[in-house]
Amino acid sequence: MERDLRTREPRVVVATPEEHAGVAADAIAAVLGVCAETPGCISVALAGGSTPRPIYRELPGMEGLTWDRVAFWFGDERAVEPDDPESNHRMARAALLDRIGVHRGQIHRMEAEREDGDVAAEQYALSLPDPLDVLLLGIGSDGHMASLFPGSPALQEERRRVVFVKAPAEPKRRMTLTPPVIRSAVFRIVLARGREKADAVVRALEGPLDPMTCPARLARSGTWILDSDAASRLESTPRSFGEPGVERRRDVNDGTAKKRGKG
């Protein structure tokens, strides 16, 4: 039985603020390279918010990345129209998807704007591979992850894989992946930059594992790509210092060469 990598310690790569986007893009490219060693579709769930934007922008120009086997899902979405400035889908299309020539069938948008939100969440869950190959995540300064906020009942959801939630932050109505999906993803990459995330990062990576007060703990055993500001309060968590180039690729390879039977 393959060692359950989720019980291992986090892998933390720290970059300078200037290099964070490039280091994170390289980490994503390295993980896609490992996934590509196994036949079949590679499922990637994209993070929302503002941190991923410069990282996504780096990807289209990178050597050796082919996207024809990649299909995209989302970690969460606000209940807004797809062309709304608040839409995570809109951000991802502008920064990445429209620039790598993927066709519509490769993009699974969360239709969070639908009135029948619970049905939309259920239908989205049916489209979601189990497990996801790559899950990209951000972290809020309050420790939220995707649209799982501290104290949310959705943090106790163990059956449904996608739910609608009421967020404390605007836009309040959101669709989000649930804890089982975050825990089961093969490669989890958490992207965080800026001093305002330092406290949430240390609460996520050190101390108790209970996600109720810090949902980002759900991805503790993933790979965390931080800039030095976001990492500035880490005491006991070992970290490596990212630098451009291939060396880092070994840092982020979980070594989970999955036996994927799925298409």
Among 5, 38, 40, 49, binds ligand 6PG (CB under 6 A): 49
Q: Give residues 193-222 in contact with ligand 6PG (rule: CB under 6 A).
A: none
Nearer residue to ligand 6PG within complex by CB, 41 or 107? 107
- Helices and strands: H and E segment counts in the chain: 7, 10
DSSP 118-159: HHHHHHHHHHS-SS-SEEEE---TTS-BTTB-TT-GGGG--S
Strand partners, 15: 227
φ/ψ (deg, to 5) at 145: -140, 135
Is residue 50 at the binding interface for ligand 6PG, with CB under 6 A as the rule?
yes
Distance CA 121, CA 135 (A): 18
- Tell me which of 146, 165, 201, 218 binds ligand 6PG, using CB under 6 A: 146
CB atoms closer than 10 angstroms to residue 106: 17
Which span (3-11, 48-56, 221-229, 238-246) binds ligand 6PG, by CB under 6 A? 48-56
Q: Which region among 30-38, 45-53, 57-65, 241-249 touches ligand 6PG (by CB under 6 A)?
A: 45-53
Distance CA 238, CA 96 (A): 31
Instruction: For ligand 6PG, give the closer residue by CB, 34 or 95.
Output: 95
Backbone φ and ψ of 108, nearest 5°: -110, 95
**Smallest separation (angstroms) from ligand 6PG to the CB of 10:** 17
What single letter denotes the amino acid at residue 16? T
How far is the C-alpha of 3 from the C-alpha of 19, rounded, in Å?
33
Element (H, E) at 177: strand 173-177
Q: Which window, 119-127, 136-144, 182-190, 245-253, contacts ligand 6PG (CB under 6 A)?
A: 136-144
Gyration radius of the chain over CA positions: 17
Q: Residue 143 — φ and ψ, nearest 5°?
A: 90, 5
Q: Which stretch binds ligand 6PG (CB under 6 A): 1-9, 58-66, 113-121, 138-146?
A: 138-146
Least separation in angstroms between CB 249 and ligand 6PG: 24
Site map for ligand 6PG, 86-125, x if CB under 6 A?
--x-------------------------------------
Nearest-approach distance from CB 239 to ligand 6PG, in angstroms: 20
The DSSP output letter for 107 is B
Task: Report the C-alpha gap between 220 and 190 in whole angstroms.
Answer: 9
* Closer of 11 and 193 to ligand 6PG (Cβ): 193
Between 38 and 213, CB nearer to ligand 6PG: 213
CB atoms within 10 A of CB 59: 20
Q: Which residues bind ligand 6PG (CB under 6 A)?
A: 47-51, 75-76, 88, 138, 140, 144-147
